[in-house]
Copies of this chain bind each other. A is one copy, B any other.
């Protein structure tokens, strides 16, 4: 189910790392939102723009729905000026989120950029805590660590400049952790959201080790509800037959086994 809801901004604050957080009063969507799903937001002042903007759901509780965003372009720079009381049209919750009902698993989250938002929401809904890898350029980019820590997760941080946590890419930290594990340790179930390159690496690792991985993809979106066929990702079905799946409806979260990437991207992923 999905709704179009006129949602009032009730909190709008800085979040860190250049991100901001908006809390909307959106009781309809909040009541049914699940981790990994997103809302397609109409930014009222963008009178001439043609499209809504998709944002992952960071939290939903009671009537409140939260998103976390970074001002990067025309739309988000306008959003930056949203004040309490502004009304935004939200379309959601959209897409297929992360599975939260898989019993007895050992969850491992890998987050880059805004990807930490849906994963933090996920952690809240999973039965047991696991390990989370959070990557960024520098210390300030590392968000939501307390969200996970408060739930008992093992939080591992990697920054490119080494200003906090391990120095390097989040995938390198992940690989080091994997390499250090005792043989025969319980297979992790991977949940990830972040840049495309991260998805290539995790698809490759999951395939190499035979792990289950749930990867959330980011695509330019038109309708957000499956009508325009803009947001496609190449996938294969159980029989190996390939087709285009819509990230807004079949995704944004996919089982990594389904994902078909360019050979060159996977090759690059295998060596770093």
Digitize A56-99: 1 where CB-to-B-CB distance is under 8 Å, 0 elsewhere: 00000000000000000010001000000000000000000000
Please state the number of chain copies in the assembly: 2
Return the contact of A74 from the options B47, B74, B78 (Cβ within 8 A): B47
Interface size (A, Cβ < 8 Å)? 6
Residues in A45-60 with C-beta less than 8 Å from chain B:
45, 47-49
Is the Cβ of B48 less than 8 Å from the Cβ of A48?
A: yes
Kindly identify, within residues 31 to 50 of chain A, every residue whose CB is under 8 Å from any CB belonging to chain B.
45, 47-49
> For the complex, what is the distance from the CA of A45 to the CA of B78, rounded to whole Å?
9
Q: Is the CB of B48 within 8 A of A45?
A: no
Could you mark each residue 112-155 of chain A with 1 if its beta carbon is under 8 Å from any beta carbon of chain B, else 0? 00000000000000000000000000000000000000000000
Task: Please give the distance in Å from A121's CB to the nearest CB on chain B.
Answer: 32
Q: Which residue of B lies closest to A77 (CB)?
A: B47
Cα A20 to Cα B232 with chains together (Å): 49
Q: Which residue of B lies closest to A49 (CB)?
A: B48
Tell me the bound Cα distance from A47 to B45 in angstroms: 11
Tell me, in angstroms, the Cα distance from A162 to B78 when the chains sit together. Answer: 44
Q: How far is the CB of A35 from chain B (nearest CB, A)?
A: 34
List B contacts of A48 (CB < 8 A).
48-49
